[in-house]
Structure 1
Amino acid sequence: MWDIRRLHTLRTVAARGSITAAAQSLALTAGAVSQQLSALRNEVGVDLLRPDGRTVALTEAGRVLLEHADGIFAAVHQAENAVAAVKGTVGAALTLAALPSTVARIVAPALTALGSHHPQLTVTCLVTDQAQLRELTLGTVDVVLGQRYHHLPDTAPRGIDVTPLLDDPLLVVTAADQGDERPVALRELATHNLAVPPPTTDCGQAVQHACQQAGFTPTARYLTADIAAQLTLAQAGLATALVPRTAIAPDTPGIRKVPIGDHPILRRLFAATRHTGTANPTTAAVVAALDAAARRDSTTYLP
Structure 2
Amino acid sequence: MVDLQLLRTLRVLYVQGTVTATARALHMSPSAVSQQLRRLAAEAGADLLRAEGRRVQFTAAGHVLLRHADLLCSQWERAVSELAEEAGSPRRTLSLGGFATSIDTLLAPAARRLNQAEYPTRTFLQEAGTQECYEKLLAGEIDLAVLTPLPGGPPLDDPRFEQSVLMDDLMDLAVPADHRLATQSTVDLADASTEDWIAPHHDHTRLIESLCSASGFAPKFVHRADAWHAVLSLVSHGFGVCLVPRLVPPPRLDVARVRLRGDPPPFRRILVCVRSGTGQDPTIADGIAALRQQAQGH
Tell me by how many angstroms 1:217 deviates: 4.3
Please give the alpha-carbon distance, in whole angstroms, between the structure 1 residues aligned to 2:2 and 2:191.
63
**CA-to-aligned-CA distance 1:152-199 (integer Å, 9 cap, x gap):** 998442353333222111111123344336122323323322224569
Post-superposition offset of 1:252: 4.1
Which amino acid counterpart does residue 205 of structure 1 have in structure 2?
E
Superposition map of 1:90-239 within 5 A: 90-117=90-117, 120-131=120-131, 132-148=133-149, 155-178=156-179, 179-180=182-183, 182-197=185-200, 201-212=205-216, 216-224=217-225, 226-239=227-240
SS of match in other structure, 1:123:
strand
Q: Match of 1:164, as an amino acid? A: V
Amino acid aligned to 1:163: S
Query: Aligned-pair RMSD on alpha carbons?
Result: 3.0
Contact 2:96 2:145 in 1 (8 A): yes
Please say which of residues 263-272 and 158-167 is displaced more in the overlay: 158-167
- For each residue in 1:81-120, what CA deviation from the matched residue of structure 2 results, as whole angstroms up to 9, or x when unmatched? 1112213445232222211221211122112212211674
The question of whether the paired residues in 2 share the 8 Å contact of 1:89 and 1:282 is answered with no
Q: What is aligned with 2:60?
A: 60
Q: Which moved more, 1:185-194 or 1:20-29?
A: 185-194
Match of 2:242 in 1: 241
- For residue 274 of structure 1, report the CA deviation from its aligned partner: 3.1
CA positional deviation for 1:122 = 2.7
CA distance in 1, matches of 2:37, 2:154: 37
- Residue 260 of structure 1 deviates from its aligned partner by 0.8
For the residues of structure 1 that align with 2:162 and 2:108, how far apart are their CA atoms? 23
Moved more, 185-194 or 12-21: 185-194
How much does 1:256 deviate? 1.7
C-alpha distance after superposition, 1:15-54 (max 9, x if no partner): 2111111111111111222222233333334332221111
3-state DSSP of counterpart to 1:2: coil
Task: Rate the CA distance shift 1:88–1:31 in 2: closer, same or farther, 3 A.
Answer: same
CA 139–182 in structure 1, closer or farther in 2 if over 3 Å, else same: same
Deviates more, 1:141-150 or 1:152-161: 152-161
Alignment of 1:18-57 (within 5 A): 18-57=18-57
Q: 1:63 to 1:254 in 2, by over 3 A?
A: same
Amino acid at match of 1:207: L
5+ residue gaps in structure 1? 299-303
Q: Which segments of 5 or more consecutive residues in structure 2 lack a partner in the other structure?
A: none
SS of the residue 2:173 aligns to: strand
In the alignment, what sits opposite 1:87?
87
Give the Cα separation in 1 of the matches to 2:155 and 2:58: 30
User: 2:137 corresponds to which letter in structure 1?
Assistant: L
| C-alpha contact 1:199 1:205 (8 A) present in aligned 2 | no
Partners of 1:142 and 1:269 in 2: how far apart? 17
CA gap of 1:4–1:266, structure 2 versus 1, over 3 A, is same
Corresponding letter in the other structure for 1:208: C
Q: Output the CA distance in 1 between the equivalents of 2:55 and 2:34.
A: 14
Name which of structure 1's ranges 196-205 and 87-96 shifts more when overlaid on structure 2: 196-205
Q: Distance in 1 between matches of 2:37 and 2:124?
A: 29
Kindly tell me the number of residue pairs found equivalent between the two proteins.
292
Take 1:6 and 1:38, find their aligned partners in 2: how far apart are those partners?
A: 10
Looking at structure 1, the residues matched to 35 and 92 of structure 2 have their Cα atoms a distance apart, in angstroms, of: 32
Query: Residues 268 and 17 from structure 1, CA distance in 2 versus in 1: closer, same or farther, beyond 3 angstroms?
Result: same
CA pair 33-290 structure 1, distance change in 2 beyond 3 A: same
User: In 1, distance between residues paired with 2:63 and 2:205?
Assistant: 30
**1:224–1:230 CA contact under 8 A, matched in 2:** yes
Give the structure-2-normalised TM-score.
Answer: 0.85
* Equivalent position SS for 1:91: coil
1:272 is paired with a residue whose SS is strand
- Measure how far apart 1:262 and its partner are: 4.0
- SS in structure 2 at match of 1:191: coil
- C-alpha separation between the residues in 2 aligned to 1:141 and 1:275? 13
- Mapped to 2, the partners of 1:196 and 1:129 lie a distance apart of 16
Quick one: percent identity of the two aligned structures? 28
Are residues 292 and 98 of structure 1, via their aligned partners in 2, closer, same or farther at CA, if it must alter by over 3 Å?
same
Q: Name 1:301's counterpart in structure 2.
A: none
